Structure formats: C-alpha cells, structure tokens
Chains A and B, each alone.
Chain A
Amino acid sequence: MKKVLEITLGIVTSIGGFLEVGSLATSVQAGAAFGFQLIWAIVLGTICLIFLVEMSGRLAAVSKQTLAGAMRDRFGYPFFLIPLVAMSALGLLVLASELGGLSLALQLLTGISFPWWAPLGAFAAWLLLWKGTFGIIEKGASLLGLITLVFVYAAFRMHPAWSLVASGIRPSMPKHESMHYWFIAVSIMGASIAPYLLYFYSAGAVEDKWNETDVAVNRVSATLGMSFGGLLSIAVLIVAALVFVPRGIRIERFDQIALMLTPVMGRAGFVVFACALGIACFGAMLEIALSVAYMAAQGFGWKWSEDARPRDAARFSLVYTATLVGGCLIVVIGVDPLAITLLSMALTAALLPVAIVPFLILMNDAHFVGQHRNGWFSNTVVCAIVGLAFVLAVVSIPLELLGS
C-alpha cells in the first residue's frame, strides 16, 4: 500500500509540476512554429528530469535529509546562499507566470478581464497551503490534474502521421528562424527540468519517512511519473502542430492557444482547455511556493512541515505567504504573461548548473548516500544535458532578447 502511495507521489509531482504554463506555452510555441521538430527537446528534458527526480528521492531515502538541508550541511553557510537566492528569485518569476496562466484560464471561463484574477488565485493557493495538509494537496492535485489527459486524447483524435512524430525525437537543425528555434529548445528544457520539483519531491520523501528499502520503488515512481509528464507535453506539442501550422498561426499572445482543443472537441474544447490550464497552473503554484519555503526553512534549520499548523511553523509559513504575495505583485504590475513565462523557462535553463552541480556532488559523496552513490552513467547523462541546456541558454537568450 505504501508503495502505491509512493508511486502516486511521483505522478502527482509530475502532474502538478510538469504540465503547467511553462511546458504548455513552450510546447505550443514549438508545435506552432516548428511542427514536430522539437520533440527531441522534450525527450531530453524529460530524461534529465527522471534522473534528477530519482536522485532527489534516493538522497532523501538514504540520507534522511532533504536536498536543501543536505546542501547546507555539505557546503556550509555562505555557499548555500548562492543556490538559495538564485532558486528563490527564479521561483518567484515562475510562480508569477503560473499565476498569469491561472488568471488567463479564469478569464477564458468567465469573460472577465484578467488582472483581477491574480490576487484571487494567489489567495486561493495561499488558503489551501494555510489550512490544508500535504495529503489533501497531493490527492486533490492528482485527481484534478488528470484532466490534462485531454491533450493526449486530442492528439490521438487528430490522427497525426506517427512516423513524422517519431522523426521529431531525433534532434535536427532548424530550417528557418534558427535563433528562435534554439531559444524555444532551451525554454522547453528549462520548463522540463524545473529545480523546484526536486526540492518539493525530496521534502515529500522525508516527510513520508522514506528509507533505503524505498530506493527501488523510487526509481519506478520517478520514471513513470516524469515520463507521464513528458508524454503530456509531447501531446500538447502534437495538437499545437496540427492546429496552428496548417492555419499559419503564429503564437504571439496567450489567449491564442485557448482555441487549440476546439477543432477536436468543438465549443467544449474551449472550456476544457481553460480548466486544464487553470488546474495545472494552480497545482504548480502550490508546489513552487512550498519549494521556496522548504529551501529557506531546511537551509536555516526551521521547522518546515506542511502538515503543521501555521503557528507551529511560523517562519516557514511566512516564506510561502511572502512568495505568493510577491508572485501576485509581479502579475498585477502588468508584465506580459507569455513573455515572462518563456523568459523564466530560459532563465531556469541558464541557472541549472547552480542547482545541479552541488546536487551532483552530494550524490557522489558516500558520506551522504553511502553505497547508493551515482553511477558514472547518471553523472554523465545529467552533466551532458544540463551542460547543453546551459550553453544553449547563454547563447540564445541574449540573441532572442535583442531580436525581439
């Protein structure tokens, strides 16, 4: 029974954390502009994420420490501030884009113009964290998140040429708009390899008191869960390619993607899309706010349980509250949600080494993980993909910013 619940943790983290506004926007952009060509970026990102999430669970199970706690432990105090500040700033940006996505979803459903939805959405997320328990959030997010399966349904219903889809798995050079191609590729990888997922996953594993016997199940859970998320993104890309490319539509505004399910589902497709977007973004908001709070609390040694009442984990609760308020402010100021989404995804890719290099060092340190150290294969795969993402990001972000 416990094993089933653990696998659920993996899938929940995946739904709440994988198909959210970042992977949605980047997959749609990729499909609309380049057809099936960028599927390889989703595949690479997903593979890397599987390795990282598995490592995160293994670290928690064997060392009984969360990722953030282990980082403070191993690298000491001034150094810990670097990933803490970088990931918190990034988390704030990504949270703002999720809130923007949620606001858009509510706007689509009600027709009411969107800046007003942001404070409401942030408040709803805060209320759930304030009063809810980890269990409720897990189960709720996983049940509601199943609605994102509609993209898989739509992808099949549209009968793509599957051989063409398969050819997209092989990396290929762009035939037009090279800079935009690589920028989207980088954004996809940043959307897939979201560091906040790692902090969230390891905190959940420690709270569920995993131990060494859970290492094998964790491998299954991470693989299934993250693959599921990757397939969802690919489905979104396929639908976008089949809907937007034949019509020659360039995606420049968020609300353009709202119609992507209507060819398959008619008017209902509009409503379903809005619901799926809203639910996925809401789930991601909860995870991001918690991840930022986990990192601070675990790094500084405060009490950090989500199950505890706020008054029993005061500083922890304060941090996730402040994070939600901060994200809300960014949206309310009126920053363009699509732009901030794509940019924060690309920035994530650029900042990956800051989070991942210390993580890799931990996973190779017998003092922490004993005999469950990383093999050369895990190290190589992660280094290669993160290195690739970083190089692409550093090259393409400035050029994309200059170009636009």
Chain B
Amino acid sequence: MRNINVELLLDREVKDASGRRAGRIEEVRARKEGDEIIVEAYHLGPEALLERLAAPVFRLSLFRALGLHKHAHGRRVRWDQLDLSDPERPVLRCTVDELQKLVR
C-alpha cells in the first residue's frame, strides 16, 4: 500500500498497456461512507489536441479552467481499471476501447 497525492495525479497522461493514450486525469469520483471516502472512478479528459500542442501543465489547467473540457468527450476509468503502482505513469489494466465514454 502506498500514499499518493491526488493533486499531483491531475493532468497526468493515462495510457494502456500497448501505449495507446486514453486521456489525462481530470477528476476523481468517490463516495463518502461514514468516516471513509472511497474512490470509485477516475475521469479522463481529452488529450489529442493538447498532446500535439505539448502543453505544459499550466496550460492544461487553463483549458480546464475555461470549462472547455465540458463540451468534449471524456472517459470513465473504474478504480480497478487503473494501475497506479507508478503514480507518475498511470497505466490502464484494460484497453482504451473497454473504457466507458463520458458524454457531457
């Protein structure tokens, strides 16, 4: 078991085992049960355009801040579909296609 800083996961790129990009972590969904907060899923935001721009973390925050991400498609990754044993390189335990699409 390890401790991970959630705020450092933001905007980190998520790939599947074959190296295909799934998106960047932009939200963590959880539920509160009594004294515990249990993570259920991660939401990934669009990455293609931003990838090509090679935007530094700063500009990604701006993209999110402008609310533009709400009009783009994202993907939902269940907690068991994401391998965070190396938090700097999150890897999917499934393929990109198996992820649920989010329509906002």
Contact = CB atoms under 8 A, between A and B. Distances in A.
Interface string A75-105: 1111100000000000000000000000000
10 contacts: A74-B65, A75-B65, A78-B58, A79-B58, A79-B61, A79-B62, A361-B65, A361-B66, A361-B67, A365-B67
A190 to B, nearest CB: 24
A353 interface: no
A358 interface: yes
Contacts of A76: 61, 65
Nearest to B65: A75
Interface size for chain B: under 10, 10 to 19, 20 to 34, or 35 or more residues?
under 10
B53 interface: no
A376 to B, nearest CB: 16
B37 interface: no
Interface string A353-397: 000001001000100000000000000000000000000000000
B57 interface: yes
Contact of A78 (B61, B66, B67): B61
A361 B70 CA distance: 13
Interface of B: 7, 57-58, 61-62, 65-67
A239 B57 CA distance: 52
Interface residues of A, number: 9
Nearest to A74: B65
A74 B64 CA distance: 10
A79 B61 CA distance: 7
A78 B57 contact: yes
A78 B67 CA distance: 16
A374 B49 CA distance: 30
Contacts of A361: 65-67
Contacts of A75: 61, 65
Contacts of B7: 77
Nearest to A75: B65
A356 to B, nearest CB: 14
Nearest to A81: B58
- Chain A at the B interface: SS class: helix
A365 B66 CA distance: 11
Contacts of B66: 361
Nearest to A71: B65
A358 B65 contact: yes
Contacts of B61: 75-76, 78-79
The 5 A-B pairs at the shortest CB distance, nearest first, are namely A75-B65, A79-B61, A79-B65, A78-B61, A78-B58
Nearest to A364: B67
A220 to B, nearest CB: 31
Contacts of A79: 58, 61-62, 65
Given A79-B65, A361-B66, 16 more contacts: A74-B65, A75-B61, A75-B65, A76-B61, A76-B65, A77-B7, A78-B57, A78-B58, A78-B61, A79-B58, A79-B61, A79-B62, A358-B65, A361-B65, A361-B67, A365-B67
Nearest to B61: A79
A77 B65 CA distance: 11
A84 to B, nearest CB: 14
A361 B62 CA distance: 12
A155 B58 CA distance: 50
Contacts of A358: 65
Contacts of B62: 79
Contacts of B65: 74-76, 79, 358, 361
A78 B65 CA distance: 11
A79 B7 CA distance: 13
Interface in A263-312: none
A358 B66 CA distance: 8
A268 B57 CA distance: 60
A358 B65 CA distance: 8
Nearest to B7: A77
A79 B11 CA distance: 13
B7 to A, nearest CB: 8
Contacts of B57: 78
A35 to B, nearest CB: 42
A358 B7 CA distance: 21
